[in-house]
Amino acid sequence: MALQPNPLLWTAIEQRRLIRFVYHHKERIVEPHDHGVLNGSVQLLGYQVRGSSSRPLPNWLLTKTDEISELSWLDQTFPGGRPTSSGRHIQWDKLFIRVKPPDERLQAGSKETITPTAVF
């Protein structure tokens, strides 16, 4: 069976929408950045900005999508890609989608809101 992207994550990345989900028994609020296959499993790389974590926040979070539950979109958007401390990206086996770089219009201070909120 081919490993497929999660359509909710794909849309959240396209629209730069924050997502909320539970992962390893912790509620997390995340900017979704990359979605793809790594080491034979479908995964999401996100930047966790709020919620519960065993590490200081904000911080990068790599999750196996089959271990995510209670996934939903939030009304809040984020500017786009963030720089990494190393300047490099994960070497995905297959990258489905990567968030685009920040949009100058959003950097200038305007806010973008996308509704409605979807819960799955």
**Hunting for tokens 């912790």 — which residue is that?**
26
What does DSSP assign to residue 119? B
27/79 Cα distance (integer angstroms):
22
Nearest in space to 97 (alpha carbons), one of 26, 2, 33: 33
Work out the average pLDDT over 2-7: 90
Q: In terms of pLDDT, which residue wins out, 90 or 26?
A: 26
- How would residue 2 be classed by pLDDT, with cut points 50, 70 and 90? confident
Give Cβ neighbours of residue 27 (< 8 Å, ≥ 6 apart): 20, 21, 51, 52, 70
* pLDDT of res. 97: 96
pTM of the predicted model as reported, rounded to 2 decimal places: 0.81
Written as six digits, the tokens of 31 are 């900017």
Per-residue pLDDT reduced to its tens digit, 63-110: 999 999 999 999 999 999 988 777 677 899 999 999 998 875 444 444
Ranges of each domain in the chain? 7-80+90-98
